[in-house]
Amino acid sequence: MSTDDALLSSYEEKNHAILRLYTWEKSFTIGVSQDFSNYVICDDYNGNYAKRITGGGVLFHGHDLSYSLVIPTSYLEGLNIKESYECICTFILNFYRKLGLDAKYAKDNEKIELSKNEYCQVGFEAYDILVNGKKIGGNAQRRTKKAIFQHGSIPIKSLDDSKKVNEKIGFTLEDLNLKIDFEEAKVKLIESFEESFNVELEYSTLTQKEIEKKNKLLKDKYDYSRN
């Protein structure tokens, strides 16, 4: 999460858009305004948790492929937050559809009652994505004067050998009888992004400025033992 923070805080309007793809160890994140003291599950994760730079509640990781996207505000000029979600999430919908799944927004399913919950996978918001009628993954956004930041989670593997879905963790592709490994999912997600926005991605690493910012954040903001 410090990498996301560094990418956004170091971003300049003249910069290229950034798409980051990454995976996790077993862990969880909470929204920027939440407090770890409210969650007894911290004891089960040996300090392996962090705050996101976006809002929302608890989101579990270790079974998912995640993305972060940073783009200049000018790219979506004239669109409100809901409209920008719909635009950006096009590549996520297309990713699921490329896998042969029926993907749509929660707002487009008349059977879904929109609601909020302290666990991200339990509630339904308008632009949550449903696959074959089941909520899957999640996306969140933050804006600055220079950039729009959005990140999200695509659950790949089941975390429970009992074949029972834990509603707090949510459905995964494996729970929906679709088996795909993380590398294959990453390739298909990149293909979907390039096709959806008619762009060609180039591989890059963190700049020196971003590395220095990340290291400072790790020490000053993300060291929860000191905070």
So what's the pLDDT on residue 226? 64
So what's the pLDDT on residue 163? 61
> Which residue has 């930041």 as its token pair?
149
Nearest Cα to 188, choosing from 83, 99, 70? Answer: 99
Spans of the chain, pLDDT less than 70: 160-164, 226-227
The pairing of strands 129-131 and 103-105 is antiparallel
So what's the pLDDT on residue 162? 56
So what's the pLDDT on residue 111? 86
d(CA 191, CA 185): 10
Map out the domains of the chain with their CATH numbers. 2-198 (3.30.930.10)
So what's the pLDDT on residue 159? 75
Kindly tell me the sign of the dihedral angle through the C-alpha atoms of 9, 12, 13, 19: negative
